[in-house]
């Protein structure tokens, strides 16, 4: 009966597993479709008159190439950290094992000294000297125990010595792997510096061609109309974002308690005039190149690409019409459709979009309208 019941339960669970697999496949198809829509939107924006400009097109290509190398370098850094942690763990284990082996050697030495003191024929002498059968049995038991202790100590020592030898081989392999990763990372780091220098040279060339500030802004400045149009079209792309994401506090309830995307001096405040002389819709924060940029709250990535005037931009949808925008990044670490948690690293800061100094451009929008982030950040 129990077997039949178990089989019934298994059969009852089969449709659930099949249904779950179908749901996962459907979710992947929807996500692929969404990514296709986002790509199409981006390509449409790049096909506008402004995006066809030689300066913007060249800058986009250079900054995307730089972003790819920067992402590779970050991946190598993470790999190095993981390998170093593994090597440190192996070395700690070796130190512990060497301590155990030292104790075992000392214990075995004490047993051998005892055996030498007793002599080879001591067991026979003790037996011949005893008249009591119980005493004889006890003496034999003592000697068997002593012999087993010797054998046990020796076996344990041999086993731990083998373990130490295996550990030494693991450390050797981990050290070689770490050295290879360091070499590869050094190559990528040199490539990154070359890409950064190339990008700086390109910006200087563009500045030389666009001799006055007005011409430069026209070619590389923020295209707020294009951004607003993009946000409007993104509104329906992630319609599955609920008003309150399951298990998360409503975004509206987090006002005044959100962490900053990074720690940096406010270069341009919300509402202040930016380099174009227009009222800024967000904050420009000073930051070193490559600083980690964090999501301010849980949400889903709705956009991750290059926009004229904003550089490498990532937009996170927090549900109920709330969006956070992170621009001027050197590289993006998340893709469209990825879920992110509050505080999770989603990009690294830079100067993309034609900026001359590294930093982060940050916006917060409510139902498409920009709002001062400082009222939301703690």
Answer yes or no: same fold for 51-221 and 223-378: no
Q: What is the CATH number of domain 51-221?
A: 1.10.287.1490
Rg (the chain; Cα; Å): 34
H or E segment at 302? Answer: strand 299-307
Rounded Cα–Cα distance for residues 73 and 81 (Å): 12
Query: Selecting from 3.30.465.10, 3.30.565.10, 3.40.50.150, 2.70.70.10, what CATH number does the domain 223-378 have?
Result: 2.70.70.10
Rounded Cα–Cα distance for residues 153 and 108 (Å): 6
Q: Which of 305, 321, 295 is nearest to 226 (CA)?
A: 305
DSSP state of 374: G
On the 0-12 / 13-18 / 19+ scale of CB atoms within 10 A, 171 is middle
Q: Where are the domains of the chain?
A: 51-221, 223-378
What's the gap between Cα 349 and its chain centre? 16
Q: Is the Cβ–Cβ distance between 154 and 108 less than 8 Å?
A: yes
Whether the full predicted model's pTM is greater than 0.85, yes or no, is: no
Q: Which of 234, 253, 217 is nearest to 368 (CA)?
A: 234
In order along its 378 residues, the chain shows pLDDT tens digits of 444 444 444 444 445 667 666 656 665 666 666 667 666 666 655 555 444 467 888 888 889 899 999 999 999 898 889 888 888 888 888 888 788 777 777 776 776 676 665 555 555 555 555 555 555 565 556 666 666 666 666 767 677 777 788 888 888 888 898 899 889 889 988 989 999 999 889 888 888 887 776 777 777 777 787 788 788 777 766 665 555 555 677 888 999 999 999 999 999 999 898 877 788 899 999 999 999 999 999 998 989 999 888 999 999 999 888 999 999 999 999 998 888 999 999 999 999 988 889 999 999 999 889 999 999 998
Bridge partners, 365 (sequence order): 323, 370
């Amino acid at each position: 009966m129990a077997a039949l019941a178990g089989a019934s339960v298994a059969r009852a669970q089969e449709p659930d597993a099949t249904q779950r697999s179908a749901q996962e496949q459907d979710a992947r198809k929807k996500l692929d479709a969404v990514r296709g829509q986002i790509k199409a939107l981006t390509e449409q924006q790049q096909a506008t008159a402004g995006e066809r400009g030689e300066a913007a097109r060249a800058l986009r290509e250079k900054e995307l190439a730089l972003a790819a190398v920067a992402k590779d370098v970050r991946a190598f850094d993470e790999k190095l950290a993981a390998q170093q942690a593994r090597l440190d763990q192996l070395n700690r284990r070796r130190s512990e094992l060497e301590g155990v082996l030292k104790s075992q050697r000392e214990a075995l030495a004490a047993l051998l000294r005892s055996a030498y003191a007793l002599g080879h024929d001591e067991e026979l002498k003790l037996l011949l000297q005893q008249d009591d059968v119980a005493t004889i049995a006890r003496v034999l038991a003592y000697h068997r125990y002593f012999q087993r202790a010797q054998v046990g100590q020796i076996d344990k020592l041999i086993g731990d010595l083998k373990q130490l030898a295996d550990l030494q081989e693991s450390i050797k392999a981990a050290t070689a792997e770490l050295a290879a990763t360091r070499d590869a990372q050094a190559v990528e780091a040199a490539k990154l510096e070359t890409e950064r220098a190339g990008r700086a040279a390109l910006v200087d060339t563009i500045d030389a061609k666009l001799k006055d500030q007005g011409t430069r802004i026209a070619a590389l400045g923020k295209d707020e109309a294009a951004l607003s149009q993009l946000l409007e079209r993104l509104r329906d792309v992630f319609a599955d974002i609920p008003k309150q994401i399951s298990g998360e506090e409503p975004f509206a309830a987090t006002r005044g308690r959100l962490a900053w995307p990074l720690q940096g001096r406010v270069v341009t405040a919300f509402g202040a005039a930016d380099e174009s002389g227009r009222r800024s819709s967000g904050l420009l924060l000073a930051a070193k190149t490559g600083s980690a940029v964090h999501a301010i709250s849980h949400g889903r990535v709705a956009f991750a690409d290059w926009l004229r005037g904003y550089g490498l931009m990532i937009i996170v949808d927090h549900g109920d019409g709330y969006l956070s925008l992170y621009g001027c990044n050197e590289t993006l670490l998340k893709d469209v459709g990825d879920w992110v948690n509050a505080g999770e690293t989603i990009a690294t800061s830079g100067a993309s979009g034609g900026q001359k100094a590294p930093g982060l451009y940050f916006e917060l929008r409510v139902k498409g309208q920009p709002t001062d982030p400082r009222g939301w950040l703690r």
